[in-house]
Amino acid sequence: MHAHLLLLLSILFSLAQCSESTSARNETAAVNKPPKAQTTVTLPAAAIQTGAERTGEYLPLLKNKRVAMVVNQTSMIGNKHLVDSLVAAKVNITLIFAPEHGFRGDADAGAHISNATDSKTGLPIFSLYGKNKKPSAEQLQNVDVLLFDIQDVGARFYTYISTMHYVMEAAAEYNKTVLILDRPNPTGYFVDGPVLNLKHQSFVGMHPIPVVHGLTVGELAGMINGQKWLAGQRTCKVTVIPAKNYTHKSRYSLPVKPSPNLPNDLAIQVYPSICLFEGTSVSVGRGTATPFQVIGSPFYKKKTYSFTPKSVPGATNPPNLNQVCYGYKLTEKDVQGKFSLAYLLDFYQNSTNQDKFFNNFFNTLAGNTELQAQIKAGKSEAEIRASWEPALTAYKKMRKQYLLYPDFE
């Protein structure tokens, strides 16, 4: 009996040694060689929850408050607009402020937006685009809290962050509170491009930040306050409801297009690199079925691909209207976490009309005069990038102070 027991224990001990040896070999192999695809199990990331979806976090902050909504078509909780959700929750909304492209997000870029009344709720809508970019004292008479919930795309010249700046400025002046329901930044996984020189400050560039700033609107609001960028170096009272389960490593696909000419992920990802063409004679596809996914010009030497901009809703008078534009179609591989000058340099170098390539808007978008001069002088992308580095490095260091989410590094 004892002999049988000793034999059994001996066998078990041998099996354990074998198992440990196999485990050690496997661990070594895992270090030296990645596992085969079929043996890798990837657990799904926890679903990102926007600030707007976290109603339990902010509804108590709106109780017995008079609320102005700074919203557009991206301000959704699932399939329901935030305004409708809060009206149903008995929040006292007194008015709606709408940014560029309007409350429903269907107006042309730069188009005049009229004040109106929302047919569904009867609430007055005031445009914050055009002459009235900042809420006035009169408009804020019956307001305690300005609630900002608009999806940004992470590019300095996208004007929703300029609207947020003026909302914060008005709140600071008239002693109101700003509540920001944060949303992920679809280009928040990198930082790149020239930092704006404040001599070129405009509504398409309010802050000394790079083209791709790598911040959510909630983080940028903290930076605006912290760096004292509001008029008179004021600060305003801001509360941010952060997005849940988001990090700057996250890739985020927008559920609603943020403006008429950014209809999909590709357009959003390439937008920072090709928006500078809006300051040139080159079309970025406004007036086509693929805006910000094609680049073309009547003056481009290569004729392998062409398109013709037409008058369409959201782009009623696009650049190069009814003219054949030669260029190329962009793909996902063209936009992998980098602000690229390759397109711009190529089109300038291959233009038959270099004298009229740039227009007066280019330096405003670039945020400096140097970039245009560098392109005209024939500088390479590497040489141009080197000139950005001191300011870009300083910005990256400063940015880390204001992060609300784990960074991409």
Q: List the beta strands (DSSP E) in 9-101.
A: 66-71, 76-77, 80-81, 92-98
Whole-number Å distance between alpha carbons of 115 and 137: 17
Sign of CA dihedral 383, 387, 392, 394: positive
Neighbours of 364 (CB within 10 A): 19
Do 307 and 359 share a structural domain?
A: yes
Do 149 and 186 share a structural domain?
A: yes
Whole-number Å distance between alpha carbons of 67 and 26: 60
Does some domain include residue 31? no
For residues 146 and 176, is the Cβ–Cβ distance under 8 A?
A: yes
Do 207 and 88 share a structural domain?
A: yes
Do 189 and 100 share a structural domain?
A: yes
Does some domain include residue 366? yes
pLDDT for the residue 113: 58
pLDDT for the residue 41: 44
Whole-number Å distance between alpha carbons of 305 and 331: 14
Whole-number Å distance between alpha carbons of 48 and 29: 34
Does some domain include residue 360? yes
Amino acid at 111: A
Quickly list H helices, 282-341: none
Does some domain include residue 153? yes
- List Cβ neighbours of 370 (8 Å cut-off, separation of 6 or more): 194, 387
Do 170 and 110 share a structural domain?
A: yes
DSSP 3-state percent helix, strand, coil across the chain (nearest 5):
35, 15, 50
Q: Note down the domain range covering 194.
A: 51-241
Query: Rounded to an integer, what is the distance from CA 7 to the centroid of its chain?
Result: 68
Does some domain include residue 368? yes
Do 226 and 272 share a structural domain?
A: no
Do 233 and 128 share a structural domain?
A: yes
Summarised one tens digit per residue, pLDDT across range 83-98 is 999 999 999 999 999 9
Whole-number Å distance between alpha carbons of 28 and 121: 64
Does some domain include residue 401? no
The DSSP string of 213-274 is ----HHHHHHHHHHTT-SGGG---EEEEEPPBT--TT-----SS-SSTT--SHHHHHHHHHH
Count how many Cα atoms sit within 13 Å of the Cα of residue 225 in the half-sphere of its side chain.
22
Does some domain include residue 137? yes
pTM attached to this predicted model:
0.86
- List Cβ neighbours of 396 (8 Å cut-off, separation of 6 or more): 191
Summarised one tens digit per residue, pLDDT across range 122-169 is 999 999 988 889 999 999 999 999 999 999 999 999 999 999 999 999
Q: Please, which residues bridge with residue 49 across strands?
A: 244
Do 304 and 174 share a structural domain?
A: no
Provide the domain count of the chain.
2
Do 183 and 131 share a structural domain?
A: yes
Summarised one tens digit per residue, pLDDT across range 195-212 is 999 999 999 999 999 999
Do 225 and 110 share a structural domain?
A: yes
Do 179 and 123 share a structural domain?
A: yes
| Best-predicted range by mean pLDDT (3-12, 35-44, 102-111) | 102-111
pLDDT band at 119 (very low <50, low <70, confident <90, very high): confident
Do 212 and 92 share a structural domain?
A: yes
The DSSP string of 124-137 is EEEE-SSS--S--T
Strands 145-149 and 177-181: parallel
For residues 222 and 238, is the Cβ–Cβ distance under 8 A?
A: yes
Does some domain include residue 26? no
**Cα→Cα distances 392→209, 385, 399, Å:** 8, 10, 10
More confident residue, 21 or 133: 133
Degrees (nearest 5) of the Cα angle 184, 365, 292? Answer: 60
For residues 225 and 236, is the Cβ–Cβ distance under 8 A?
A: yes
| CATH value at residue 228 | 3.40.50.12170
pLDDT at residue 28 above 50? Answer: no
